[in-house]
Amino acid sequence: MMLGKTAGGLFWMFRYLERAENTARLLEAGWHMALTRSGDAANEWQSIVTTAGINEIYQQKYDTYEAAQVINFLLRDKDNPSSVMTSITAARNNGRLVRTALSSEVWEATNECWMVLKDLLARPVTERAMHDILTQIRFRTSVVRGALHGTMLRNDIFAFARLGTFIERADNTARILDVKYYVLLPSAAFVGSTIDNAQWEVILRSVSAERSYRWLTGGESSPATIADFLILDSRMPRSLAFCAKKIGENLKHLESEYEAREESHVQADALCHRINSHTVDTIFEEGLHEMLTDFIVDNAKLAGHIEKDFRFYG
C-alpha cells in the first residue's frame, strides 16, 4: 500500500490544480452574469465570493464588493487560501513532495504552470486583462491534466490524483449551479425569462459545455434541460453524475488493488445512488438549492472519509 503521506500529496496536488481552474471558471461565470444584469453590480460580486465559500475571509479585509477587489482577492490575494495563486502554489508544493511518484512531464507541466501564473498575477488584474488571464489559467491546468493522462500508469498513483480532481470538480459544479439559481436569479418572477435563460447559457460556457449541449439538444434550451445536462448526464465531464461515477470507479480500483473496502467506498456508492435516483423533475420539485446544498455537504464528508481511510496524515 502506498504511504498515506504520498497518497495525500497526490490527492491534494490535483485538488488544488482543479480548484485554481474552478475559481477562474466561477469568476468568469459571475463576471458574465453581472454583464447581463442592470443595477448595482455589488450583489453579483458578493454572490461570487459567497459561492466560493470565502465570504467570511473576504469581509475580514474588505467592507465593499467592488469588482477590482473581488477579482484580485480571487486570483492573487495571499490572504485568500482559495485564490488561484495560492492554489497553484499549494499544488506545486504537493507535487514537489511526491515528485518521485510523478512522471517528469507531469512535474514539468506543474512547475511551468506555477511560473507562468506567478508572472501573470504578480500585478493587480484589471477587468480588461481578466479574460486573457482566465484563459491562461484554464490552459495551464489542462496541460498538467493532459500530461497525467498521457504519461502515467493507471495504478494507485493515478487513482489518488483523479480522486482529488473529481472531488474538487463535483464541489465546483454544484456551487456554480447554486450561484446561478439561488443567488444570482433576482426572484422567482424571472424564472423562464430572457435574463434567466441568458444566465443559464453563461453557466454552460463556464463549464465548457455549450457546444456539447447544443449538439445534444439541437439548439433548444431551457433551465430544466440545462440543469439535467449539468447534474444528471454522465457523459458530460463536469456534471455531478460524471464526477460521482469517476470517484466511485477510482475508489473501486483502490479497493481491488489494496484488497480492502473502506467507509469511503460505502459513501461513494451512496452518493452515486442519490444522484442516479433523481430526475430533473424531482430535483426542481424538491428544490434545486436544497439538492445542491446536500450534495456539497455529502461530497465534503466523502473527501474526509478518503483522507481518514487512506491515512493521509497518519
Output the pTM of the full model: 0.91
Looking at every residue in the chain, the average pLDDT score rounds to 89
Residue 194 has a pLDDT of 55
Dihedral class, residue 219 (left if φ above 0, else alpha if ψ from -120 to 50, else beta): left
Give the closest residue to 51 by CA, choosing from 228, 207, 173, 224: 173
Cβ(145)–Cβ(130) below 8 Å: no
273-295 residue pLDDT tens: 999 999 999 998 888 888 999 99
Task: Give the pLDDT confidence score for residue 15 in this predicted structure.
Answer: 98
- C-alpha span between 51 and 177 (Å, rounded): 10
pLDDT at 205: 76
Low-confidence ranges of the chain (pLDDT < 70): 1, 36-42, 180-199, 314
Cα–Cα distances in Å, from 161 out to 256, 272, 277? 17, 20, 28
- Predicted confidence at residue 41, as pLDDT, reads 62
The pLDDT of residue 181: 61
Q: 151: how many CB neighbours lie within 10 A of its CB?
A: 13
> What does the pLDDT read at residue 39?
58
C-alpha span between 310 and 250 (Å, rounded): 13
Measured CA to CA, the distance from residue 159 to residue 165 in angstroms comes to: 10
270, burial (CB in 10 Å: exposed 0-12, middle 13-18, buried 19+): middle
Task: Summarize pLDDT for 241-255 with one digit per residue, the tens.
Answer: 999 999 999 999 999
pLDDT score for 206: 75
